[in-house]
Amino acid sequence: MTAPDAPAAAPGEAARFELLAGEAPVGPRLGRIHTARGVVDTPAFMPVATRGMLRGPWPDRMRPMGVRMMLANAFHLWARPGPDVVRDLGGLHAFLGWDGPVLTDSGGFQAFSLREAARAAEEGFLLPHPVRGHRVTWTPELAFRAQAELGPEFAMVLDDCPPDPDDRDRVAAAVARTLRWARRQRDLHEARGGGASGQALCAIVQGGLHADLRAACAEALVEMEFDGYAVGGVSVGEDFAGRMAGVALSTRHLPTDRFRYLMGVGTPRDLVEAVARGVDLFDCVYPTRSGRFGTALTRGGTLHLLNARFTRDPRPIEPGCSCDACATGVPRGAIRAGLKAKELLPMGLLAHHNLHFLTDLMRRIREAVAADAFAALRAEVAAAWPAAGEGSPGEADAGDS
């Protein structure tokens, strides 16, 4: 099923990015990603359905919430149930229960997360199979073929994400390998017909915290002409200042007529500050994972509902919030009791609320940029969500959240 707001993509074009505001290389932007399955207004946040399943929220609540694009992981879907099974079940969109555009990650971050057991070599990553445990070699070619068969609108190249962004030698090797792998996948994409295949291919900038390596990686990828560019290798252990430095060192070298995507970053402060540095698209498990562990995101900061002070709190998760979870009226105290009893509903309610909160934050960001009021919103978010070293990010005061 095609989304009702979908414009036809141009012939031979899988997707197109339209810049609406923000011509400077670094700074807040407004844009629009056009696909055959719908338009994505940017800046935007993509919910993460790693294995093709959202953890908590129901798929049919995504579009009313304001979500326009979702993410799944090609490596995990390749491992189970396999692209052939996904195809036989109606394809990736049917598997997700989602009719809008989808982006699939390629598995580079999974190799990073398994770094104690994974090894990078020229042919690819040697790492444990996430289901069966035996060693597999996950190559750029295999990542490309898996995504071609899965059929998302946007496929990411396989990259090498180094574990320590300060280790210059390791980062330099990762940049060189990322570029060689990107060329191999770019050639496969062209042989398949490029955009005429119905799939856009996006590259990932590496370079750690080294300005020259970030610049070299970005510029080399731009020369290869991808449909979009991601900033990778951030949120891998560095502090807030390091994350934002990695973003700014990358976006300033990326073209303004392609979308910029910051991978795996999702706190409200990080989102707003990355938008300030020219990022258009985000994904992260943070909102749903936080919800499953009892944390609610609110305009005043976080609420840790497992805390004893919420035992008899009769209010919904966030008074005044329009999300489906808050509309149920289930009290904070009941959510806390359910979490203590390992019930599934409280985790789902919080995951839904948190995802709604971030999706709504992106709407507020777009409106603020359009109204030349981004600085005020940026200050508001900074006050509620201070970074480490700026004071402890407050649990929102129970009296005003």
Which residue carries 């995951």 as its tokens? Answer: 351
Q: What is the pLDDT of residue 113?
A: 84
Could you state, in order of their start, the residue ranges of all structural domains in the chain?
15-283, 290-384
Q: What is the pLDDT of residue 287?
A: 98
Residue 97's CB is within 10 A of a number of other CB atoms, namely 15
H/E element holding 168?
helix 168-191
Q: What is the pLDDT of residue 157?
A: 98
Q: What's the CATH number for 15-283?
A: 3.20.20.105
DSSP string, 307-321: SGGGTT--S-SSTT-
Q: With contact defined as beta carbons under 8 Å apart, do 15 and 250 qualify?
A: no
Q: What is the pLDDT of residue 112?
A: 85
**Helical segments of 192-331, H only:** 211-224, 240-251, 268-276, 286-292, 324-327
Among 105, 160, 270, 280, the one annotated catalytic:
105
User: Token digits for 99?
Assistant: 């009719």
Which residue carries 């792998």 as its tokens? Answer: 181
Q: What is the pLDDT of residue 6?
A: 46
d(CA 262, CA 240): 14
Active site residue 283: yes
User: Token digits for 317?
Assistant: 């998760």
Q: With contact defined as beta carbons under 8 Å apart, do 42 and 281 qualify?
A: yes
Q: What is the pTM of this model?
A: 0.94
Active site residue 159: no
Q: What is the pLDDT of residue 387?
A: 86
Q: What is the pLDDT of residue 3?
A: 44
Among 41, 160, 270, 283, the one annotated catalytic:
283
Spans in the chain with pLDDT lower than 50: 1-4, 6, 391-394, 397-401
Please count the residues of the chain: 401
Q: What is the pLDDT of residue 400?
A: 28
| Helix orientation angle between 268-276 and 240-251, rounded to the nearest 10 degrees | 30
